[in-house]
Amino acid sequence: MQEIYLDNSATTKVCEEAAKTAFSLMTETYGNPSSLHKMGFEAEKALRLAREQVAKVLSAQPDEIIFTSGGTEADNLALFGATHARKKRGKRIVSTAIEHPAVLNTLHSLEEEGFEVLYLMPDKEGHISPEQVFEAVNPDTILVSMMAVNNEVGTILPIEAAHMAIESSGAPALLHVDAVQAFGKLPLSPKHLGIDLLSISAHKIHGPKGVGALYLKKGITIRPHTFGGGQERNLRPGTEAMPLIGAFGTACSVLPSPLVSRKKAQALSDLLFETLASVPGVVRNSPTDALPFVCNLSVLGIRAETMLHFLSSKNIYVSSGSACSKGKKSPVLSAMKLSSERIDSALRVSFSRYNTEEDVLAFCDAIKEGIRSLQHV
């Protein structure tokens, strides 16, 4: 039976080009980039190329890219690094209640250190309004951290408003954006959006797990929280994981245009919700203006775990929310104040460039079959 993978917000299949690069850097160009011999120079050249490839997607400079072990480490480096560097200027941080756990749990740790965090609440569709941001940012704010796209419902957050709020308030705040779900899917130029720090991950764009990056705007200083040999501008020391970094760069180099990708994803999202619109008990949780790569819906009366197991038996793979919050009630859907019934039955379908209309129709057929079978169990 053909496998249908619709959990691409959790992770993606590594593309063939990236896998080839990783293999080459493990078996051929395997020197240490810091070594002063031919093998080291070749590895350093591969490191420089990867940095250029990642930077190009962001219209950034290569020396603004700091490689990390993934989005979580990039978020931690940004939040701890920015606040510790600016703590003499204030203690106020503005964020949202629908951030990824990599941000939320870091903010909780900063609260224990004495920082004040204001969490903006979404409306019932997961939106954060520009007005909320302007009201929240004041002259004492030292950091605004806001995701570009929500990982559970696909809501696009008002990043430009956050930059404008900082400017108009006169706050000494830096703007951090968790762009893990937006990278490669939305046109992102930190320079034009007024972003100071931006976190990304390779395994959401058909690169390998275990590598990501932090964009750090030139001229911005943050405090390191790991120490070692001085790699990555002394912010992320340790021998560079070249097979992963090189593969990340290659994955970036073969990304299709965000406009092309979004158009295809929009067609798949429209097909999914139109096909299920007339099915009793199916409720849409994602807003209509969500980034179409992420589709959240509830099948009322059937717990998400039960439906997931049924779909898995059909070789169809989706999730019940963030893969990083396994087994926990969704904090995003809870913040949206959805009913417990909708939260407990919520499914997240997420697309990649490899998904097809046939995948979507097979999923919809399986949902209909699951409703017939499971509601009578």
The region that residue 99 occupies, defined by phi over 0 for left and psi between -120 and 50 for alpha, beta otherwise, is: beta
In sequence order, what are the residues at sequence separation of 6 or more whose Cβ sits closer than 8 angstroms to the Cβ of residue 218?
61, 63, 64
Banded model confidence at residue 245, pLDDT cuts 50, 70, 90: very high
pLDDT grade for 351, boundaries at 50, 70 and 90: very high
Specify the pLDDT at position 297.
98
- How does pLDDT run across 257-296, given as a tens digit for each residue? 999 999 999 999 999 999 999 999 999 999 999 999 999 9
DSSP secondary structure letters along 82-99: HHHHHTTT--EEEEETT-
pLDDT band with cut points at 50, 70 and 90 for residue 31: very high
Structural tokens at position 151: 């990982």
Q: Are strands 282-284 and 212-216 parallel, antiparallel or unpaired?
A: unpaired
All structural domains of the chain, each given as residue ranges with its CATH number in brackets, are: 4-13+257-374 (3.90.1150.10), 16-253 (3.40.640.10)
In which band, very low, low, confident or very high, does the pLDDT at 34 lie, cut at 50, 70 and 90? confident
- pLDDT of res. 230: 86
Q: Is the dihedral of CA 119, 334, 9, 104 positive or negative?
A: positive
Task: Name the band, by pLDDT with cuts 50, 70 and 90, for residue 299.
Answer: very high
Among candidate residues 77, 79, 145, 72, the one with its CA nearest the CA of residue 110 = 79
For position 329, what pLDDT does the model report?
80
Q: Which two tokens stand for residue 3?
A: 């496998």
Q: Summarize the confidence of residues 93-111 as an average pLDDT.
A: 97
CA distances 117 to 329, 337, 351, Å, are 22, 21, 33
The pair of three-digit structure tokens given for residue 205, joined into one six-digit string: 């764009």
pLDDT band at 234 (very low <50, low <70, confident <90, very high): confident
Where is pLDDT greater, at 226 or 317?
317
- pLDDT value of residue 229: 87
Q: Is the pLDDT of residue 112 over 80?
A: yes
Segment holding 162, helix H or strand E: helix 159-169
Q: To the nearest whole number, what is the mean pLDDT of the chain?
A: 95
Band of pLDDT at residue 200, cut at 50, 70 and 90:
very high
pLDDT at 156 over 60: yes
pLDDT surpassing 90 at residue 147: yes
DSSP class of 187: -
Place of tokens 């775990």: 305
Task: Pick the closest to residue 247 from 199, 188, 206 (CA basis).
Answer: 206
Whole-number pLDDT of residue 132? 97
pLDDT, average across residues 102-113: 97
For residue 323, pLDDT over 80 is answered with no
- Enzyme catalytic residues: 324
How far apart CA 257 and CA 279 sit, in angstroms, is 34
Residue-wise burial string across 36-74, b where 16 or more C-beta atoms lie within 10 A, e elsewhere: eeeeeebbbebbebbbbbbbebbebeeebbbbbbbbbbb
User: How large is the average pLDDT for residues 76-89?
Assistant: 96
* CB-count exposure of residue 84 (10 Å: 0-12, 13-18, 19+): middle
DSSP-derived secondary structure for 25-86: HHHTS---TT-SSHHHHHHHHHHHHHHHHHHHHTT--GGGEEEESSHHHHHHHHHHHHHHHH
Strands (E) located in the chain: 4-5, 65-68, 92-96, 116-120, 141-145, 174-178, 197-201, 212-216, 282-284, 294-299, 316-317, 346-350
For the segment 175-186, the average pLDDT, to the nearest whole number, is 98
Residue 175's Cβ-count burial label (10 Å; 0-12, 13-18, 19+) is buried
Q: Looking at the predicted structure, is the pLDDT value of residue 324 above 60?
A: no
Instruction: Say what the pLDDT of residue 377 is.
Output: 52
User: In what helix (H) or strand (E) does residue 275 lie, and over which residues does it extend?
Assistant: helix 258-276
State the sign of the Cα–Cα–Cα–Cα dihedral 96, 217, 258, 71.
negative
Name the DSSP class of 155.
P
Per-residue confidence (pLDDT) for residue 326, from 0 to 100: 57
Q: Is the pLDDT of residue 210 over 90?
A: yes
Provide the token pair at 51.
């940095």
Tell me, what amino acid is at 27?
Answer: T
Q: How confident is the model at residue 60 (pLDDT cuts 50, 70, 90)?
A: very high
Mean pLDDT throughout 310-329?
80
